[in-house]
Amino acid sequence: MKISRREDFSLILMNVLAKQYSKDYIPLSEVATSTKLSPLFLKHIANRLKAKGLIESKEGMSGGYRLSREPEKITVTDILQSVGSELILPSCYSGDCRLKKDKCQVFAFWSVVNKKLFSFLKNITLADYSRI
């Protein structure tokens, strides 16, 4: 199991927005400075989160990003699924295995594990995560 940088950084970005939750927009440059993350990579992540309706953006002097709804109404699953696909990717998923997905005996198992893991993470909200 491997969590990608994209998934990690999306949680970090959302955590910053949750901790400063208000009607104000927060510039990505401010997030990048406080987290020491690449502004370009954050922009890419923000675009995905925005496309999934988790954040809103505004251009201009008082622009930036903010959560589209309260942190209590956004789950960790919402965030992870907006920037990634599965948490556990067997090698047949990426073609690194000699077996095809439909012939792989463990592919179905890992799919069930992913569903259960996402189901568990659905019970953890951004508000819960921000308190850690």
pLDDT in tens, 87-114: 776 666 666 666 666 677 787 788 888 8
| Average pLDDT of the chain to the nearest whole number | 88
Q: Map residue 49 onto helix, strand or coil.
A: helix
| Selection from 1-10, 53-62, 99-108, 109-118 with the highest mean pLDDT | 53-62
Domain CATH code at residue 59: 1.10.10.10
Q: Indicate the number of domains in the chain.
A: 1
Q: Are 92 and 100 in contact (CB under 8 A)?
A: yes
Q: What is the pLDDT of residue 23?
A: 82
- Burial label for 62, CB within 10 Å (0-12, 13-18, 19+), is exposed
User: Please, what is the angle between helix 107-121 and helix 76-83, to 10°?
Assistant: 130
Tell me the whole-structure pTM to 2 decimals.
0.86
Q: Are 79 and 52 in contact (CB under 8 A)?
A: no
When comparing pLDDT for 129 and 94, which is higher?
Answer: 129
Q: What is the pLDDT of residue 104?
A: 73
Host domain of residue 49: 5-130
User: Position of tokens 């995905």?
Assistant: 48
| pLDDT single digits (tens) 69-92 | 999 999 999 999 999 866 776 666
Q: How far is CA 3 from CA 6, 42, 59, 84, 89, in A?
A: 8, 17, 31, 9, 10
Q: What is the pLDDT of residue 84?
A: 80
Q: Are 65 and 26 in contact (CB under 8 A)?
A: yes
What is the arithmetic mean of pLDDT over 14-30?
Answer: 93
Alpha-carbon distance of 122 to 110, in angstroms, equals 18
Q: What is the pLDDT of residue 88?
A: 73
